[in-house]
Amino acid sequence: MGHRVYISADKIKTKVKELAAELEKFIGDDEAVLIANLKGSVVFFADIIREIKSERIMLDFLSTESYVNNESSGAVKITRDLSLEISGKKVVLIEDILDTGLTLDHIIRYIRDIHEPSQMKVCVLLDKPQNRKIELEADFVGFTIENEFVIGYGLDNNEYSRNLPYIAVLKQ
């Protein structure tokens, strides 16, 4: 199974800089915690944090499971919780893709209810609104894409292809 480039590495790099500038405006002079949902967002997360100039950001990670063989199971399980105390802090959740919305909605509710940040924003590299199962929008969006199965730049095909420097569409 091959693939075709959908969003080039150069376009991603440009968009990451734009998103980082938007996040800096939200963060301002405050302390903020940026949270990556592993594993898919790790490449995007690493690139975006390097573009943020503020030295008042902290990093944390959580991990979820919701896909089985590239299909959303509809059930979201948090497999790794945050390690930092984020209560009362500004938080930015960094996610690779907003697809059905089920995983992201679960994470947002979990962080708000359990960890109680003062403010929380969501930044996604990719938004796939055609596939949404619940009403949900991200605060910061890199690219709005068609309903394609995408890989690369952290996104996987059964754990493979995360290392591609661009976003690609699998050829069936």
Catalytic center residues = 99
The CA distance from 156 to 96, in Å, is: 11
CA distance 100 to 133: 5
Do 44 and 13 meet the contact criterion of CB atoms below 8 Å apart? no
CB 44 within 8 A of CB 37: no
Phi and psi dihedrals of 122, rounded to 5? Answer: -120, 130
